[in-house]
């Protein structure tokens, strides 16, 4: 009897264990499904899952996380102590003869898929469930099972109407674009930024902006030349002149050390550069400016291989993800960095409260690359540009600094006789793909969210000296350099590039 009782107890114990295992598996499956749906819903609106859980305001991929520094490398790898000077393709720069070509391997995430495949995936997701479930859940299912990526629009949202064959953008960018034309998601993000006013922008914006006389392209160019000055930090400026590392700053302004160049290319990082075939044309310029982490290796056919200047923001410098101190992407040519500063701050106030640790990273980089030309833009430069944008728009713009793209364009206009800007205004290849080197879709990358990008494009379109066909076929805008402008005749501009 004792043997049978023990056997019964063992059977009963196994049965209870199996029952608990089944319950655990069901709970785990329910949890996984719930988290998957939450992730999909957040991805549809470009909101991180943690933000949805903890109630953070709507954010797009185009919006930086202020006052945060990425500490964990992608893939969980620990930072390695590598001498950047020994990496492949790293050549110390020379202040008088900067190396213009990036020859190092600069691969990034997976290449973008052709638009035709994206459209086919979108068609596959429409079906019976789309008529039964509420729209947010159907779009979430599309994200989960239809191959959709975080931030990618479904083809039925208001934002998509800007990009279709009958979209508001038409063949080329309309310089009357307004925030009223944005979809609900982007409108919400823009309104959040207007309310936040993180940088303390204090300007009196007239209530009758729409009645303000609209300046012509030549008048805008002369206003830009008169009101905006490209200034970089030098070793004799306070508070830097009294700091131990002052000698690491250049002794002269960037505009004194570089140029003048005859023709220059400003190459955006836009997804519409994918399959553009513009590489040879871009490399034919005397100088080429690129932005942030945009690579050339593997993309030479579309974006070229020459890089004379790379404009980077302080977030890229501070993020371990971008390996600023060790990647050979940044180690050739001329570096120019910028950091958002409070609207009315002087240099001392900005130095004591930067958005990201730009000066710490600058010192570290200069120790590793003492010969490479490296400049930091004066914060007044970005706000002078912002003021020009606001003064020429019919509605209030985001109270955040202009994009690197527009700052880089104005920078090159001060160094070159003629500037060609590629895919800042989208061509016939216009797409929701954010960057040519990453597979990520979001209309905010074209229309703006954090930056007043939509209004910047309006201004560039009005100043363009090239044809609309150039924009449509090549995404190419032609702008005269500041030195080529003649603004002595009634405020208008004439130039040798006309």
DSSP 369-425: -TTS-EEEB-HHHHHHHHHHHHHT-SSPPPSSPPPHHHHHHHHHHTTEEEEEEESSS
For residues 27 and 145, give the distance between their C-alpha atoms in angstroms, rounded to a whole number.
22
Please indicate, yes or no, if residue 428 is contained in any of the structural domains. Answer: yes
Same domain, 12 and 99: no
The whole domain housing 38 covers 2-44
**CA–CA distance from 224 to each of 227, 265, 341, 387, 461 (Å)?**
5, 19, 21, 10, 14
Please indicate, yes or no, if residue 367 is contained in any of the structural domains. Answer: yes
Same domain, 444 and 358: yes
Same domain, 362 and 423: yes
Write out 448-489 in H/E/C secondary structure. Answer: CCCCCHHHHHHHHHHHCCCCHHHHHHHCEEEEECHHHEEEEE
Count of domains observed in the chain? 2
Please indicate, yes or no, if residue 6 is contained in any of the structural domains. Answer: yes
Same domain, 107 and 7: no
Same domain, 106 and 11: no
Tens digits of per-residue pLDDT, 49-108? 444 343 444 444 455 544 333 332 233 333 333 333 333 333 333 333 333 322 223 333
CATH number for 406: 3.90.1480.20
Please indicate, yes or no, if residue 84 is contained in any of the structural domains. Answer: no
Tens digits of per-residue pLDDT, 435-459? 999 988 888 899 999 999 999 999 9
Please indicate, yes or no, if residue 298 is contained in any of the structural domains. Answer: yes
Q: Within the chain, which residues score under 50 in pLDDT?
A: 43-61, 65-127, 129-130, 143-161, 163-164, 497-498
Please indicate, yes or no, if residue 152 is contained in any of the structural domains. Answer: no
Same domain, 288 and 381: yes
Same domain, 40 and 99: no
Q: Which residue pairs from 42-50 have beta carbons closer than 8 angstroms and sit at least 24 positions apart in sequence?
A: 43/143, 43/148, 43/149, 43/150, 43/151, 44/136, 44/139, 44/140, 44/143, 44/148, 44/154, 45/185, 46/150, 46/151, 46/185, 46/442, 46/444
Q: Which residue pairs from 74-79 have beta carbons closer than 8 angstroms and sit at least 24 positions apart in sequence?
A: 74/321, 79/320
Same domain, 362 and 438: yes
Q: Given 44, 61, 77, which residue is the final one in a domain? A: 44
Model confidence, pTM: 0.72
Same domain, 18 and 105: no
Please indicate, yes or no, if residue 316 is contained in any of the structural domains. Answer: yes
Please indicate, yes or no, if residue 32 is contained in any of the structural domains. Answer: yes
Same domain, 102 and 40: no
Tens digits of per-residue pLDDT, 168-178? 556 789 888 88
């Amino acid at each position: 009897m004792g043997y049978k009782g023990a056997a019964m107890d063992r059977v009963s114990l196994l049965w209870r264990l199996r029952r608990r295992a089944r319950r655990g598996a069901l709970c785990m499956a329910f949890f996984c499904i719930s988290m998957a749906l939450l992730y999909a819903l957040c991805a549809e609106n470009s909101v991180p899952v943690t933000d949805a859980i903890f109630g953070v305001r709507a954010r797009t991929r185009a919006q930086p996380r202020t006052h945060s520094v990425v500490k964990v490398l992608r893939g969980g790898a620990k930072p390695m102590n590598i001498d950047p000077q020994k990496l492949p393709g790293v050549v110390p720069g020379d202040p008088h003869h900067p190396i213009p070509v990036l020859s190092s391997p600069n691969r990034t995430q997976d290449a973008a898929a052709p638009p035709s495949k994206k459209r086919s995936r979108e068609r596959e997701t429409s079906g019976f469930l789309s008529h039964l479930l509420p729209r947010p859940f159907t779009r979430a299912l599309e994200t989960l099972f239809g191959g959709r990526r975080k931030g990618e629009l479904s083809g039925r949202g208001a934002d998509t109407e800007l990009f279709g064959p009958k979209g508001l953008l038409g063949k080329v960018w309309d310089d009357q674009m307004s925030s009223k034309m944005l979809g609900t998601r982007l409108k919400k993000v823009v309104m959040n930024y207007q309310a936040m006013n993180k940088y303390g922008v204090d300007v009196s914006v007239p209530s009758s902006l729409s009645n303000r006389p609209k300046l012509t392209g030549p008048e805008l160019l002369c206003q830009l030349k008169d009101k905006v000055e490209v200034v970089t930090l030098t070793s004799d400026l306070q508070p830097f002149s009294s700091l131990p590392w002052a000698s690491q700053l250049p002794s002269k302004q960037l505009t004194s050390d570089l140029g003048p160049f005859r023709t220059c290319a400003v190459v955006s990082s836009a997804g519409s550069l994918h399959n553009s075939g513009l590489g040879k044309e871009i490399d034919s310029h005397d100088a080429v400016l690129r932005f942030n982490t945009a690579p050339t290796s593997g993309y030479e056919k579309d974006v070229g291989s020459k890089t004379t200047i790379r404009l980077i923001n302080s977030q890229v410098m501070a993020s371990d993800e971008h390996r600023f101190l060790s990647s050979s992407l940044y180690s050739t040519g001329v570096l120019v960095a910028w950091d958002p500063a409070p609207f009315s701050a002087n240099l001392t106030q900005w130095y004591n409260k930067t958005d990201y640790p730009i000066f710490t990273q600058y010192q570290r980089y200069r120790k590793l690359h003492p010969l490479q030309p490296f400049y930091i833009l004066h914060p007044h430069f970005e706000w002078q540009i912002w003021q020009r944008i606001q003064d020429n728009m019919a509605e209030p713009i985001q109270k955040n600094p202009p994009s690197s793209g527009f700052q880089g364009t104005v920078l090159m206009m001060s160094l070159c006789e003629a500037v060609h800007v590629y895919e800042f205004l989208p061509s016939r290849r216009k797409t929701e793909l954010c960057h040519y080197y990453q597979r990520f879709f979001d209309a905010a990358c074209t229309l703006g969210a954090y930056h007043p990008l939509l209004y910047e494009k309006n201004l560039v379109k009005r100043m363009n000296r090239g044809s609309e066909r150039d924009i449509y076929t090549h995404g190419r805008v032609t702008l005269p350099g500041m030195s080529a402008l003649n603004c002595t005749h009634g405020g208008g501009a004439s130039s040798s590039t006309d």
